[in-house]
Structure 1
C-alpha cells in the first residue's frame, strides 16, 4: 500500500499550484479515462484500420451534373423538353404550309388537265409558260437570299405565295401536254414516294445530312445530262434517252427530299433553324413538284 504522501494531489490543489501539473499521470479509482483525440483524416490520406473510409463522390446519370444539384438536373431536362417541343412545333408549321402549297398546286394541275379550254389556251401560247418560269426562278433566288425571317415575315410570306403560284402554273402547263391518264399516274406515284420518304426519314438512323457534297455533284451531273439530252433529242436521236433522263431526275430529287426532310427533323449532324420554316417548306415543296414533273415525263412516255 502506498502512503498518503504518495497519493496524487487533489484537483483543487492542482489549480492553486501549477507546479503540481508535472506530477506523473496516474488514474484514480473510479475516475473516467480522458477521451481519445478526435481523428479526421486529411484529404488524400488513407484512414487507418478501424476507421470508416472517406466519402467518395458517386457518379450519376446527370450528363456531367453533380448529384448534389437537383435544380441543375431539372433545368437540363426542361431545356431538352423545350427544344424538342420547339422542333415539333416547327415541323408542324412547315408541313401545314407545305400542305397548302401542294393542295393549290395539284388543284391548278387538275384545272389544266381536265378543263379543255384552259388546256388549249396554254398549248397555243407557250410564252406564258416561259414567263412563269422566269418568275419562279427570280422569286426562288430572293427567298434563298433573304435572312432574318422574323423581321421579314410578311415579305417572305408574300414571296412564297407568288412562288407557289408561279410553280403551280409551270406544273399545270407541263401537265397540259400529257394525257390525263399519265397525270393521274404521276400524282399517285408522287404521293406514295413522299409518304415513303417521310416515314423512312423519321425511322432510319442513317444520316443523309452529311451527303450534301454528293447531292451537289448529282445535281450538276443531272444538269449536264439534261443539256446533252436536249441537244440529242433536237436531232431526234435515241428517243428513249428522254425517259432515262427523267428517271435519273426523279431519283436525284428523291434523294434531295430525304436530305431536306432530315434537315427539317433536326436530330442529325445538320439541321434547319426553327426560325427558317419558310425555307423548310420551300425546299420540300420544290423537291415534291420536281419529282412529280420527272415522274410525269416517265409515265407520259410510257403511255404514248
Structure 2
C-alpha cells in the first residue's frame, strides 16, 4: 500500500508550529512534485511516440492486428507490472528497479494505447489529445485553486469505479449504444475526479498527502488517469463519428 500521512495533524497540530520545519517540508514537497511531473512528462512523450508510430506505419499496424500476440503480451505484462507496483512498497521505492519497472509498464501501456488509437485514425486521435489536454489542465487548475479537498473521498471513488466496471460488464451482454456512450462519459468524469484526487495527494496542503518517497506510485497514478481520460474521450468521438 502507498504511504499517506495526515498533513493537517503534522503541520497544524497542537502547539507552536516550527517555521523551519514547515519551510523544509515545503521544499521537499516542491522537489517531489517536480520529480513526479518530470517522470510523467517522459511517460507521456514515450506514449505519444509509440502512438505516432502506429498511426503512421501501416506495416506495423498490419502485423500487430494480424498476429494478435503482441497486444495480449503487452496487456498481460502491463497488468502484472501495475499490480506489482501497486502492491509492493519495496518494489516502488528500491532504485533503480522501481524506475525499470515503471519504464517497462509505460512501454507496454504505450503499445496498448497505440494499438487502440490506430483503429480510429489520426484526425480523431489529435482531437482526443486536444480535448484531453483541456480536461487535464482544468483538473489541474481545480486541484490547485479550489479549497474542496477530494483526498477525503477515496471510498467514494472506489465505489464509483466498481459501478463503472459493473456497467462495462453489463454492456458486454446488452451491446446498447446508449449504454456505451454513458459508460464513456462516466469514464471521463470518474478519471477526471481521480486526477484531481491524485494531484491533491501529490501537492500536499490537504487532509492527506503522499509520502515524498512514493514518486513512482504518484507518477503511475497520474499517468493512468491521463491515459484513461484520453481513451474514453477517443471512444466517445469514435461513437459520435459512427
Give me the TM-score of the superposition, normalised by structure 2.
Answer: 0.90
User: What is the CA-CA distance between 1:225 and the residue it aligns to?
Assistant: 0.4
Q: Who wins on radius of gyration, i.e. which is larger?
A: 1
User: What is the CA-CA distance between 1:64 and the residue it aligns to?
Assistant: 4.2
d(CA) in 1 for partners of 2:158, 2:57? 39
* Structure with the larger RCO, 1 or 2 (CA within 8 Å, 6+ apart): 2
Show the counterpart of 1:185.
127
Show the counterpart of 2:27.
85
Contact kept in structure 2, 1:149 and 1:276, CA below 8 Å: no
- Candidates 199, 206, 212, aligned match of 2:148: 206
d(CA) in 1 for partners of 2:104, 2:80? 10
User: What is the CA-CA distance between 1:267 and the residue it aligns to?
Assistant: 0.8
d(CA) in 1 for partners of 2:78, 2:15? 50
Show the counterpart of 1:59.
none
d(CA) in 2 for partners of 1:64, 1:146? 36
User: What is the CA-CA distance between 1:81 and the residue it aligns to?
Assistant: 0.5
Show the counterpart of 1:162.
104
- Candidates 186, 201, 204, aligned match of 1:263: 201
Give me the TM-score of the superposition, normalised by structure 1.
Answer: 0.72
1:112-150 deviations in whole A, cap 9, x for unaligned? Answer: 112222222222222321221111010001111222468
d(CA) in 1 for partners of 2:49, 2:161? 29
1:218 is the counterpart of 2:218: no
1:212-239 deviations in whole A, cap 9, x for unaligned? Answer: 1110110000100001112222xxxx33
Q: How does 1:20-169 map onto structure 2 within 5 Å? A: 64-65=15-16, 76-148=18-90, 152-169=94-111
Aligned-residue RMSD, C-alpha: 1.6
Q: Is there any run of 5+ residues in structure 2 with no aligned partner, and where?
A: 1-13
- The verdict on how the C-alpha distance between 1:299 and 1:148 changes in structure 2, with shifts beyond 3 A counting, is same
- The verdict on how the C-alpha distance between 1:183 and 1:263 changes in structure 2, with shifts beyond 3 A counting, is same
User: What is the CA-CA distance between 1:245 and the residue it aligns to?
Assistant: 1.3
Show the counterpart of 1:289.
227
Q: How many residues align?
A: 229
Q: Is there any run of 5+ residues in structure 1 with no aligned partner, and where?
A: 1-62, 66-72
- The verdict on how the C-alpha distance between 1:151 and 1:109 changes in structure 2, with shifts beyond 3 A counting, is closer
Following TM superposition, the consecutive aligned residue runs of length 4 or more in structure 1 with deviations greater than 3 angstroms are 148-151
- The verdict on how the C-alpha distance between 1:92 and 1:115 changes in structure 2, with shifts beyond 3 A counting, is same
The structure carrying a bigger helix percent of its residues is 2
Show the counterpart of 2:215.
277
d(CA) in 2 for partners of 1:205, 1:149? 34
